Amino acid sequence: MGGAVQAGTLPQPGDFYLISRERGGKFVGSHKLFLSNTGELKQAAYCKRDYFVRSHTVAWSQLEAERGHTVRVEFNFGRGWRPICDNPERQVTLEDIGIALSPQDVLAAADESTGSQSRLSAIGARFQNENSGSGYSTYHTR
């Protein structure tokens, strides 16, 4: 399946992300943390700093931790990723942002705060998680 990648979807220097890694440090997946509210985002504080997040991001971080992956807030400094803080899934839960559903139910529902390209990326990420031993490298592995 082909499609154009929008420049705004690629990590840029100065971006903050929740990044999931396997125990050995191999990249599994990520969700962007926003510094301003651009729509249907919820305010959340990680490591005593305010961000805006999608409900899917919070649900995803909880499930990644349940799967045994290490989830951290990381900063893109242009030449790689710098860990900012650990265990964001303990700092912000779905209940904290006013959602009474399970993480599985939130991720099963359509995310109205993203465009169709992002939804396709999310679907692809689910398949990648199941086949994480494929050996492919990503920007987040730098």
pLDDT at 47: 92
Rounded distance between C-alpha atoms, residue 37 and residue 35, angstroms: 7
Predicted TM-score (pTM) of the model is 0.72
pLDDT digits (tens, 9 = 90+) for 23-34: 899 999 999 999
Domain boundaries of the chain, sorted by first residue: 13-129
pLDDT at 114: 56
Instruction: State the average pLDDT over residues 126-141.
Output: 49
C-alpha distances out from residue 116 to 6, 44, 60, 67, 121, Å: 11, 24, 18, 27, 9
Query: Encoding tokens for residue 13?
Result: 């220097």
C-beta separation of 37 from 53 below 8 A:
no
Greater pLDDT, 140 or 60: 60
pLDDT at 132: 46
C-beta separation of 13 from 7 below 8 A:
no
C-beta separation of 117 from 9 below 8 A:
yes
Q: 65: closest CA among 94, 40, 33, 41?
A: 94
C-beta separation of 41 from 142 below 8 A:
no
Q: Residue 109 carries which DSSP code? A: S
C-beta separation of 17 from 30 below 8 A:
yes
Greater pLDDT, 126 or 42: 42
